[in-house]
């Protein structure tokens, strides 16, 4: 049996944001690029297929549902709308790259044969690709917690399945109150599902300040989501059309019925089957590919981009990974992952929570002299946009260095927070003071103009070391 061999300048394993961005730039620079993606359903990566795009589209559809809409029919139509968009994105991603004269997309499961060679497929379909430079961008996948009965339950669902199924469950139990878990809880509650979130910690979002986490919990509970904290799930029992999720809280055993059970307890790097040992590529104790600040692996010609390298699991981090690698391959080789500063994050509940920088607790722990400016959205006179769109829930909070007047961090739980946080992050990166933000001119009515008021509402001052 003969094996087809392809020689490339650059081999990319995985069609995620970092990999495809680098592939486009390198192909346009005249490099012979081969990109391997194991699934035809994943051209373009997680974000446009099963992550950011479908979930945020479901956020939009769920928020637009009217009381008079039949929940099941409306949900099914919404999912069909998501399918149509993700299919278009998937085709567009494939055509845009494979259509380049110097780029080829191969579909199949890849594994290393040696440090410069990767095999794709098996048997007569086997193809080997050799390249002096290799980029690994295989992403991450959900972690299935070791809860008795969960793995074999017919009511177990993944986040991927929840973006594709047209059947709206009557009752959804979410195990885990992190970003993914709360987003799906909010989405499905707005579609009409009875949702219960079981969080093992004693409160939601333990990395955020307690007042912000409490405000998030209040909003979700106000929407009808049942939140149980301090809940350790011990078993999933199946009983025909439903499952019983058993959990312990304060030494007592409780249970809740579910038509669907979503484990949302984190994601792990996808490295299984890559045979990284054959390439001499080291991994961390948590299974991520070990990289330096230039994203080089233990083999200097092999780079790891995106979730697979164990960094923050966000599409825009994967994009910045591509910038770091491209600077190595085509630029001056100066850009590193340590250059990143004031990276924002958004939890897409309704309204969204966007954060950047230090929390109040973190700033105090560092012994910094800080001021805290905070105001409830409903009380911000300078922000009528919240009233015009009938969403006045939430809070806006800034942590400010009292000595320099620089913004150390912010938590924006409000309408448009996912956009406004980018302005705050940019200000932080360029040392724009809180006073400058407060006294700037913003369009009206907008959410950004809340800065004119909130930044003058100092509610707490902390002296370093106290």
Strands 226-229 and 194-199, how do they pair? Answer: parallel
Q: Are 204 and 213 within 8 A, CB to CB?
A: yes
Bigger pLDDT: 61 vs 123: 61
Bigger pLDDT: 16 vs 134: 134
Stretch 215-240: mean pLDDT, rounded? 96
- Could you report the per-residue pLDDT of 296-314, keeping only the tens digit for each? 999 999 999 999 999 988 8
Stretch 339-349: mean pLDDT, rounded? 95
Stretch 215-235: mean pLDDT, rounded? 97
Give the model's confidence band at 380: pLDDT under 50 very low, under 70 low, under 90 confident, else very high.
very high
Q: Does domain 4-140+268-339 have CATH number 3.40.50.1000?
A: no
Average per-residue pLDDT for the chain: 93
- pTM value surpassing 0.85: yes
Bigger pLDDT: 166 vs 373: 373
Q: Which residues of 249-287 are buried (b: 16+ CB within 10 A; e: fewer)?
A: eeeeeeebbbbbbbbbbebbbbbeebbbeebebebeeee
Q: 358 in helix, strand or coil?
A: coil
Q: Are 171 and 239 within 8 A, CB to CB?
A: no
Backbone angles phi, psi at 402, to 5 degrees: -70, -20
- Could you report the per-residue pLDDT of 78-99, keeping only the tens digit for each? 988 888 888 888 889 888 998 9
Positive or negative: CA dihedral 304, 307, 308, 311: positive
- Could you report the per-residue pLDDT of 388-443, keeping only the tens digit for each? 999 999 999 999 999 999 999 999 999 999 999 999 999 999 999 999 999 999 99
Which residues of the chain form CATH 3.50.50.60? Answer: 4-140+268-339, 159-265
Would you identify the CATH topology of the domain 159-265? FAD/NAD(P)-binding domain (3.50.50)
Q: Which residues of 327-345 are buried (b: 16+ CB within 10 A; e: fewer)?
A: ebbeeeeebebeeeebebb
pLDDT at 248: 97
Stretch 272-276: mean pLDDT, rounded? 95
394 vs 27: CA distance, rounded Å? 46
The CA-to-CA distance between both ends of the chain, in Å, stands at: 74
Which residues of the chain form CATH 3.30.390.30? Answer: 345-460
pLDDT at 460: 78
116 catalytic? Reply is no
Among candidate residues 24, 194, 254, 444, the one labeled active-site is: 444
Q: Are 379 and 429 within 8 A, CB to CB?
A: no
Would you identify the CATH topology of the domain 345-460? Enolase-like; domain 1 (3.30.390)
- Residue 167 per-residue DSSP state: P
Give the model's confidence band at 111: pLDDT under 50 very low, under 70 low, under 90 confident, else very high.
very high
- Could you report the per-residue pLDDT of 433-462, keeping only the tens digit for each? 999 999 999 999 999 999 999 999 998 788
Give the model's confidence band at 160: pLDDT under 50 very low, under 70 low, under 90 confident, else very high.
confident
For the chain, helix, strand, coil in percent to 5 are 35, 25, 40
pLDDT at 13: 96
375: its two tokens: 């105001």
- Could you report the per-residue pLDDT of 18-68, keeping only the tens digit for each? 999 999 999 999 999 999 998 877 788 777 776 788 888 888 888 888 888
172 vs 196: CA distance, rounded Å? 6
Q: How many CA atoms lie within 13 A of 132 on its CB side?
A: 4
**Percent of the chain at pLDDT above 70?**
98
- Could you report the per-residue pLDDT of 181-222, keeping only the tens digit for each? 999 999 999 999 999 999 999 999 999 999 999 999 999 999
Give the model's confidence band at 17: pLDDT under 50 very low, under 70 low, under 90 confident, else very high.
very high
* DSSP state letters, 309-350: GTS---HHHHHHHHHHHHHHHTS-S---GGG--S--EEE-SS
Could you count the other beta carbons within 10 Å of the beta carbon of residue 68? Answer: 6
pLDDT at 465: 59
Strands 4-7 and 103-107, how do they pair? Answer: unpaired
pLDDT at 2: 60
């Amino acid at each position: 049996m003969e094996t087809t061999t392809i020689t490339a300048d650059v081999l990319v394993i995985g069609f995620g944001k970092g990999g495809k961005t680098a592939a486009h730039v390198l192909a346009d620079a005249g490099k012979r690029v081969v990109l391997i993606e194991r699934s035809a359903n994943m051209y373009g990566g997680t974000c446009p297929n099963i992550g950011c795009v479908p979930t945020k589209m479901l956020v939009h559809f769920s928020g637009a549902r009217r009381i008079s809409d039949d929940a099941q029919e409306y949900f099914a139509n919404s999912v069909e709308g998501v399918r149509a968009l993700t299919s278009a994105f998937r085709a567009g991603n494939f055509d845009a790259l494979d259509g380049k004269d110097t780029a080829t997309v191969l579909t199949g499961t890849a594994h290393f044969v040696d440090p410069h060679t990767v095999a794709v497929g098996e048997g007569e379909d086997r193809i080997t690709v050799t390249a002096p430079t290799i980029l690994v961008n295989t992403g991450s996948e959900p972690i299935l917690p070791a809860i008795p009965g969960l793995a074999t339950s017919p009511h177990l669902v993944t986040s991927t399945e929840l973006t594709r199924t047209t059947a709206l469950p009557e009752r959804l139990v979410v195990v885990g109150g992190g970003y993914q878990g709360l987003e799906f809880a909010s989405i499905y509650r707005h579609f009409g599902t009875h949702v219960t979130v079981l969080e093992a910690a004693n409160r939601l979002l333990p990395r955020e300040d307690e007042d912000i986490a409490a405000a998030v919990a209040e909003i979700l509970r106000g929407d009808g989501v049942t939140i149980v904290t301090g809940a350790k799930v011990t078993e999933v029992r199946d009983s025909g059309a439903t499952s019983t999720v058993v959990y312990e809280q304060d030494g007592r055993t409780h249970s809740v019925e579910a038509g669907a059970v979503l484990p949302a307890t984190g994601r792990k790097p996808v490295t299984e089957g890559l045979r990284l040992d054959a390439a001499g590529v080291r991994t961390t104790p948590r299974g991520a590919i070990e990289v330096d600040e230039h994203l080089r692996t233990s083999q200097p010609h092999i780079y790891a981009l995106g979730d697979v390298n164990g960094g923050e699991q966000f599409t825009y981090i994967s994009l910045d990974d591509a910038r770091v690698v491209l600077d190595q391959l085509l630029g001056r080789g100066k850009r590193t992952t340590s250059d990143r500063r004031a990276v924002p994050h958004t939890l897409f509940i309704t309204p969204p929570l966007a954060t950047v920088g230090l929390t109040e607790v973190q700033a105090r722990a560092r012994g910094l002299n800080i001021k805290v400016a905070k105001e409830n959205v409903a009380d911000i006179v300078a922000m009528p946009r919240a009233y015009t769109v009938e969403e006045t829930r939430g809070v806006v909070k800034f942590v400010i260095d009292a000595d320099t007047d620089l913004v150390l961090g912010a938590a924006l739980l409000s309408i448009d927070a996912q956009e406004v946080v980018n302005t705050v992050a940019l200000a932080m990166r360029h040392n724009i003071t809180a006073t400058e933000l407060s006294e700037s001119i913003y369009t009206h009515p907008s959410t950004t103009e809340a800065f004119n008021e909130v930044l003058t509402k100092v509610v707490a001052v902390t002296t370093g070391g106290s």
